[in-house]
């Protein structure tokens, strides 16, 4: 059994018992696939982690940067109270259409928006967001983290997906946009006076990856 097969089997075991997908999530995945979106959604176990983090946070307002087909959006929306609000930002118009189609039940809480993003966002929806999930183009991670800082307040949680980049994040000589953007975000978390964070490496259905977590502090 190769390592990745082992990870897949353990992920399937955990997912079946802890984060089983219901029809709504399954339909969102099928819809994303049918729309030809890249299959880079969070896994079910990761989606449940996002839901739990938002619940632990007592989040009433969530900002997601990078909607894709809205799969992670559904998990995050499940953490919210009936009067909660989730704004999810997606650059691609086609992906916004898919996400709106994929998340009809979460729709009352979810607002899928395209550009222009943050300035209009800040004007229309006063911060703070209780949780920000950054999962878009990785080269812009430091910019999204700056936005997140402007749109949150003390106690808010910022989560960044895909910070491992296949291990390349640790290679200072790697000049890929994704690696440079992710390294800049990690270094900002480490050095910013208003951020306290860490990063966890993960294995599972999506292979080897990881999340960065940062709490906004005084």
Nearest distance, CB of residue 3 and Mg ion, angstroms: 21
User: Could you say which residues in the range 148-187 bind ligand DHB, by CB under 6 A?
Assistant: 161-162
Which residue number, 91 or 125, has a Cβ lying nearer to ligand DHB? 91
**Which of ligand DHB, Mg ion, none does residue 32 bind to, with CB < 5 to 8 Å depending on kind?**
none
Asked if 25 contacts 47 with a C-beta cutoff of 8 angstroms, the reply is yes
Using CB under 6 A as the criterion, what x/- string covers residues 113-142 for binding ligand DHB?
----------------------x-------
Applying CB under 6 A, which of residues 10, 27, 40, 97 lies at the interface with ligand DHB?
A: 40
178 contributes a contact to Mg ion by CB under 5 A: no
User: Could you say which residues in the range 106-135 bind Mg ion, by CB under 5 A?
Assistant: 135
* Alpha helices, H only, the chain: 3-18, 23-34, 44-56, 71-77, 93-102, 118-124, 141-150, 177-191
Which residue number, 77 or 136, has a Cβ lying nearer to Mg ion? 136
Which residue number, 84 or 160, has a Cβ lying nearer to ligand DHB? 160
Per-residue buried b or exposed e for 97-131, using 16+ beta carbons within 10 Å of the residue's own CB = ebbbbbbebbeebbebbeeebbeebeeeeebbbbb
Instruction: Give the strands of the sheet with 157-161, arranged side by side.
Output: 110-113, 85-89, 61-65, 131-134, 157-161, 209-216, 195-202
Residue 206 CA to residue 143 CA, distance in Å, equals 25
Applying CB under 5 A, which of residues 46, 162, 182, 202 lies at the interface with Mg ion?
A: 162
User: Could you say which residues in the range 132-151 bind Mg ion, by CB under 5 A?
Assistant: 135
How many Cβ atoms from other residues are within 10 Å of residue 195's Cβ? 17
Residues at the interface with Mg ion (CB under 5 A)? 135, 161-162
């Amino acid at each position: 059994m190769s390592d990745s097969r082992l990870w897949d089997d353990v992920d399937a075991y955990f997912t079946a018992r802890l984060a089983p997908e219901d029809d709504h999530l399954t339909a969102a995945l099928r819809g994303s696939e049918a729309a030809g979106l890249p299959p880079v959604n969070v896994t079910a176990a990761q989606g449940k982690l996002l839901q739990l983090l938002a619940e632990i946070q007592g989040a009433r307002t969530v900002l997601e940067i990078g909607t894709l087909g809205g799969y992670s959006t559904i998990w995050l929306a499940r953490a919210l109270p009936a009067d909660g609000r989730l704004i999810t930002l997606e650059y691609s118009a086609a992906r916004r259409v898919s996400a709106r189609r994929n998340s009809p039940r979460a729709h009352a809480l979810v607002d899928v928006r395209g550009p222009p993003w943050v300035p209009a966002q800040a004007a229309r929806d006063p911060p703070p967001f209780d949780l920000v999930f950054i999962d878009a183009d990785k080269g812009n991670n430091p910019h999204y983290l700056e936005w997140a800082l402007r749109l949150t307040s003390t106690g808010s949680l910022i989560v960044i997906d895909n910070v491992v980049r296949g291990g390349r994040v640790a290679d200072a000589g790697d000049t890929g946009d994704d690696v440079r953007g992710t390294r800049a975000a990690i270094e900002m978390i480490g050095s910013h006076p208003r951020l306290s964070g860490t990063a966890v490496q993960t294995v599972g259905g999506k292979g080897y990856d990881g999340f960065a977590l940062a709490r906004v502090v005084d």
